[in-house]
């Protein structure tokens, strides 16, 4: 069957809202593109393949792939099959208390594999199917119900990611996880400010050296690396807003000068902010408005 990307354009005609649930049966491939939304893919029958940030992923029915906003990806569909595609506004993520602070765990994507089958995966997949049922039943307050189920899905995936990254025998760990979620959220909310290790250690109530050690234990990176990642994530989000100039993005992200912003962004991303925006526009030209 010839693949003509028609399903990309068809998404324009489906319901609008903070979350769109799209039953996809088309055999179209999706060329390299990106969104200002989270994309969740759930194959129901037949396999489905994707390339995300240069890495290939093969999904069998029942597996789930979560692609955060701003990540370039390609999708390859079989000639037959069925899958659900969920498009989720970033505002849905930001409204979930604590989740914005650990968004980096979702990048460049999350693949819930059948080989990892456990209660968390089953419960997460059930949340997606509950959202599908709400979409199909069209009852009163269905959009609110869909947002609730997708929110619960994201929370369960986030818990699974955190547990996988920080599993250990320390009985204090559940309490510490809650404390560090709050600290991560604090850093995220203030990443456009000049934060120091001393500032955040004081906020946490730990000494600078103790905080530095346990922060790396629980996040897998140093405070400064996490702080910079959150600031760069903010920069990418702001650069996706076409109405903002690069100078305005630099100011909102807390950089004292455009030159500093250009230097730091290029050092981290490999391209200047202007080049990043141009590359995104080129890669998303044919699909950004459709999906």
List pLDDT tens digits, range 48-84: 999 998 899 999 998 999 998 878 899 999 999 999 9
> In CATH, what class is 173-284?
mainly alpha
18-22, 175-179, 229-233: which has the minimum mean pLDDT? 175-179
- Whether residue 6 contacts residue 28, with contact meaning beta carbons closer than 8 Å, is answered with yes
Structural fold of domain 6-166: Jelly Rolls (2.60.120)
User: What does the pLDDT look like over 193-215, one tens digit per residue?
Assistant: 999 999 999 998 889 999 998 88
Pick the closest to residue 227 from 185, 257, 259, 164 (CA basis): 185
Percent of the chain with pLDDT over 70: 84
pLDDT of residue 55: 93
Q: How does pLDDT run across 142-176, given as a tens digit for each residue?
A: 999 999 999 999 999 988 887 764 444 444 444 55
Residues 258-274 pLDDT 10s: 999 999 988 887 788 99
Which has more pLDDT, 223 or 9? 223
pLDDT number for residue 77: 92
pLDDT at 258: 92
pLDDT at 290: 40
High-pLDDT (> 90) share of the chain, %: 40
192 versus 241: the higher-pLDDT residue is 192
Q: Given a cut of 70, is residue 106 above it in pLDDT?
A: yes
Strand partners, 41: 65, 85
User: What confidence tens digit (pLDDT) does each residue in 222-240 have?
Assistant: 889 888 888 888 888 888 7
Delimit the domains of the chain by residue range: 6-166, 173-284
Q: 54-77 burial string, b = 16+ CB within 10 Å, else e?
A: eeebebeeebbbbbbbbbbbebbb
Q: What is the pLDDT of residue 280?
A: 65
């Amino acid at each position: 069957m010839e693949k003509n990307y028609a399903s990309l354009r068809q998404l324009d005609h489906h319901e609008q809202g903070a979350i769109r649930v799209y039953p996809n049966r088309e055999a179209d491939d999706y060329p390299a593109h990106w969104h200002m939304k989270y994309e969740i893919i759930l194959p129901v029958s037949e396999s489905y393949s994707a390339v995300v940030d240069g890495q290939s992923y093969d999904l069998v029915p029942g597996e789930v792939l979560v692609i955060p906003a701003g990540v370039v990806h390609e999708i390859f569909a079989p000639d037959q099959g069925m899958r659900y595609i969920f498009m989720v506004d970033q505002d849905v993520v930001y409204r979930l208390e604590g989740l914005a602070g650990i968004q980096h765990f979702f990048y460049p994507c999350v693949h819930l594999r059948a080989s990892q089958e456990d209660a968390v995966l089953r419960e997460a997949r059930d949340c997606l199917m509950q959202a599908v049922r709400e979409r199909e039943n069209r009852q009163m307050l269905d959009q609110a119900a869909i947002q609730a189920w997708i929110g619960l899905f994201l929370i369960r995936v986030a818990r699974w990611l955190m547990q996988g990254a920080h599993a250990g025998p320390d009985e204090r760990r559940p309490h510490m996880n809650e404390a560090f979620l709050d600290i991560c959220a604090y850093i995220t909310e203030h990443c456009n400010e000049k934060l120091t290790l001393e500032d955040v250690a004081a906020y946490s109530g730990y000494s600078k050296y103790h905080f530095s050690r346990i922060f790396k234990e629980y996040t897998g990176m140093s405070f400064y690396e996490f702080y910079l990642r959150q600031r760069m994530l903010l920069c990418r989000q702001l650069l996706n807003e076409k109405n903002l100039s690069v100078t305005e993005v630099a100011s909102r992200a807390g950089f004292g000068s455009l030159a500093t912003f250009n230097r730091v962004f290029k050092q981290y991303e490999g391209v200047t902010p202007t080049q990043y925006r141009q590359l995104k526009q080129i890669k998303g030209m044919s699909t950004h408005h459709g999906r």
